[in-house]
Amino acid sequence: MKFLKAILIVFLSLHSMSISQIDLDNRNTSTTDLLPIIYVPGIMGSPLYDDLNNNNQLIPDEKAWFGIQFFTGSLLLQPNGIDPNGNYNIKVAPLRNDAANTLRNELEDVPMDLFKGFFDNLEANGYLLDDYDDDHTEGENLFCFTYDWRKNNITNAELLSNFIDSVLTWTGAVQVNLVGHSMGGIVSKTCIKLYDKTRIKNMVFIGTPHLGAPEMLTVMLKGKLFEWLNFVNEIEWLAARVLARNLPSCYQLIPSASYFDLNLNNGVSTDIEIYSECFQLPNGNYVNYSQLIDYLTNYQSCLIENLNVGLLNSSEIFKETIDTVDFGNIEVVNIVGYNQWTIGKNKIIDGSPPLYCKTIEYFRNLNGDFTVPVRSAELINGQIFEHTYYTEGFIHSDLPGSQPTLEILLGIFADPPNYNFPQYSVPPVSYKDVTVNVENEFEFHKSFNLSQNYPNPFNPSTNIGFRIADFGLVNLKIYDVLGKEVATLINEEKPAGSYEITFYPGNLPSGTYFYQLRTQEFIQTKKMILTK
């Protein structure tokens, strides 16, 4: 599920994964014996480049998601949600036979290493990752379907179907295993709905917002971007809102009619009524689904900001289309994250004269994976499937590379398969966590904090302070605007308390940098400026 981790993982939500490689059965299986796996990442999970020279050779300066080209408007689409809003030539990385070998670059340079934990652990257990050239005699059986996540999921489902055919041709297999993370699960489900499902043996959903995610409303109406990149001012928020306005994928992740149907639930969890408090008007009233759509249709802020009614209407048709899917003989596996504070409520705040700019207060009041609420992730076709598993304590972007997920995957992909994981089969007892106003991201937990560096701008050094609530592994890293890690300040276990560290940039050039604090329960990113 929250847009630019809800798209920048209901909301993209790009985290480095401190996941140890596991080898559950110590096997040395030949790659030719393993059914191919296709991994389908979620929204914001595929790197996008503006190929300025149209030469199919992607270079760092052309990186639009996420890189320096983002604020040039290169990712903007026309109101039809298809055509670029300018002379842009967006390419999805990696390109086959690209001398820049973009996939490996992404694994090393993206701050959150979205795929790295997933791929590394499967490679450690007998799989061989596709190296994106045309030589398919090497036994590759682990593939990543990257795609333009801005576009309509129906379009990307067709491309996924074509990619499945290619993988079957390359490997000589008769079936593949699909693993869809976040919106990648929606793309996969749409592909199954519209195309030949007999090509798929297992369909694994990981943190998929089957009913939508309230965080997408936060993204579209406020500009808050998923998890890893905490935009801190109205200029950046406006850039995110403008981008989201014409992206079909964003509208398709807005909570669906089924999200508001409280009769659809797992029959175990309590406090389901809290799901009806998804959207609150300035007068204090909560809306039902039809009232939400009416409000969004007529939404206007600052006299000029509104939403794309055409894309909003077409998204309703899309959500109805995939609300029920016939999976045929596919074994459906659903992995749900919980025990993370997750956005479940958005409240509209009216602006004051002369511009009347509206804003959003959002609340992390639901149990989930920090981006997708439990109920939205666990309900497929309005019900709980037999192979539904619950993993505790991992945020949305870390679910694919987490140890419980890999344990489950290696079990179900084995021959014979093992679907028996009782330790992960019990749903949480309540959908509800503690309601906290989080108008500013991550202030929901006062025991954790990452302070703004000082001085800022800085030269020759700056101080970074932070506070953690519990003993555990702490990572504090520095990234440039292209997402490349340039320094690791802390990577060790620390007790609860307040800390401060001095950062010396050394030979780093002047410019904007991001520093990110990560613990098991907390993640925050802030921006700083180096001047020389």
Interatomic CA distance for residues 104 and 115, integer angstroms: 10
Q: What is the phi/psi pair of residue 414, to 5°?
A: -75, 170
> Are 484 and 516 in contact, with CB atoms under 8 Å apart?
no
Distances (CA, A) of 274 to 97, 259, 313, 336, 343: 50, 11, 26, 19, 12
Short-list 203, 158, 198, 161, CA closest to 179: 203
The token pair at 63 is 């990186």
Distance CA 54, CA 49 (A): 11
Q: How far is CA 145 from the centre of its chain?
A: 15
Q: What is the pLDDT of residue 103?
A: 56
Q: Which pLDDT does position 500 carry in this prediction?
A: 82
pLDDT of residue 67: 64
DSSP output for 3-71: ---------------------SS-----GGGSPPEEEE--TT-S-EEE-TT-SS---GGGEEETSTTGG
Q: Residue 208 has what pLDDT?
A: 99
Residue 104, token pair as written in the block: 């490996």
Residue 285 CA from chain centroid, whole number: 30
In angstroms, rounded to a whole number, what is the distance separating the alpha carbons of residues 379 and 277? Answer: 19
Residue 422: per-residue pLDDT: 94
CATH code given to domain 449-530: 2.60.40.3080
CA distance 524 to 229: 8
* Residue 67, phi then psi, degrees to nearest 5: -160, -165
pLDDT value, residue 30: 45
Q: Quick one: which of 459, 472, 452 has its CA closest to 515?
A: 452
Where are the chain's structural domains?
A: 1-440, 449-530
3 state DSSP class of 311 = helix
Q: Can you give the pLDDT of all 532 residues of the chain as single tens digits?
A: 333 333 333 333 333 333 334 444 433 344 447 899 999 999 988 888 888 888 877 777 788 876 666 666 889 999 999 999 988 999 988 887 766 665 555 555 443 356 777 888 898 899 998 888 888 888 999 999 999 999 999 999 999 999 999 999 999 999 999 999 999 999 999 999 999 999 999 999 999 999 999 999 998 998 766 444 444 445 466 778 888 999 999 999 999 999 999 999 999 999 999 999 999 999 999 999 999 999 999 998 876 679 999 999 999 999 999 999 999 999 999 999 998 889 999 999 887 776 667 888 888 889 999 899 999 999 999 999 999 999 988 889 889 988 899 999 999 999 999 999 999 999 998 998 544 444 444 444 445 778 888 888 888 989 898 888 778 899 999 987 666 789 999 999 888 777 889 899 999 998 888 888 888 767 777 778 898 8
Q: What is the token pair recorded at 213?
A: 């995610």
Range 24-60 burial, b when 16+ CB lie within 10 A, else e: eeeeeeebeebebbbbbbbbbbbbbbbbeeeeeebeb
Instruction: Evaluate whether 38 touches 29 at the Cβ level (below 8 Å).
Output: no
Cβ partners under 8 Å of residue 329, min gap 6: 197, 198
